[in-house]
């Protein structure tokens, strides 16, 4: 974890609230100059703390109506897993891919337009050499989706 000053924590908090706001607005809110804020933001980017500022878009508005989590069990051999990773990373429906310890070796968060596309995707994944089993969980509804809130809490906890 980076050792952050209170000013740096306030800048990050402002970016979590609205990453698109101009540096001059952040500077006014945190009590610093625009130059200081810009310099800090560049430093955060160089350190890998922030990157890829983008709009938060509702997938459903783009026709992606099905969200699911696919748990995968794979052959434990690293060469096989590397090939699987490359194939999964090439699938446009896979939004996130995490490695796990436990019963499953990975979990995929996928977004598809409908259950038909989801079924075809699961079938395709099953055909990858080294995939032993999958279990798919279709999301019924989202109860909480506030990563920013968790990150803001972490910033508060480190002060």
Domains of the chain: 6-55 (1.10.10.10), 59-138 (3.30.70.920)
CA–CA separation, 32 and 26 (whole Å): 8
> Along the 159 residues of the chain, how does pLDDT read in single tens digits?
468 899 999 999 999 888 889 999 999 999 999 999 999 999 999 998 998 777 788 899 999 999 999 999 999 999 999 999 999 999 999 999 999 999 999 999 999 999 999 999 999 999 999 999 999 999 999 998 888 889 888 888 765
pLDDT tens digits for 8-42? 999 999 998 888 899 999 999 999 999 999 999 99
Are 6 and 155 a contacting pair, CB within 8 Å? Answer: no
Q: Give the model's pLDDT for residue 2.
A: 62
Does the model's pTM come out above 0.85?
no
Nearest residue to 11 via CA among 48, 46, 49, 55: 49
- Mark residue 101 as left, alpha or beta (left: phi above 0; alpha: psi -120 to 50; beta: remaining): beta
CA 48 to chain CA centroid, Å, is 14
Are 134 and 84 a contacting pair, CB within 8 Å? Answer: no
Type and span of the H or E element at 81: helix 78-89
């Amino acid at each position: 974890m980076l050792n952050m000053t209170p000013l740096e924590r306030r800048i990050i908090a402002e970016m979590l609230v609205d990453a698109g706001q101009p540096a001059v607005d952040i500077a006014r809110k945190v009590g610093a100059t625009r130059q200081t804020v810009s310099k800090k933001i560049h430093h955060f980017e160089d350190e890998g703390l922030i990157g890829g500022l983008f709009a938060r878009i509702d997938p459903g508005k783009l026709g992606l109506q099905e969200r699911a989590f696919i748990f995968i069990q794979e052959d434990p051999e690293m060469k096989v897993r590397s090939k699987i990773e490359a194939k999964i990373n090439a699938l446009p429906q896979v939004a996130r891919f995490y490695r796990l310890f436990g019963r499953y070796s990975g979990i995929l968060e996928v977004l598809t337009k409908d259950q038909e596309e989801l079924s075809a995707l699961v079938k395709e994944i099953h055909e990858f050499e080294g995939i032993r089993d999958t279990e798919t969980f279709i999301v019924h509804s989202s109860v909480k989706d506030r990563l920013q809130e968790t990150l803001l809490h972490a910033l508060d906890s480190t002060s």
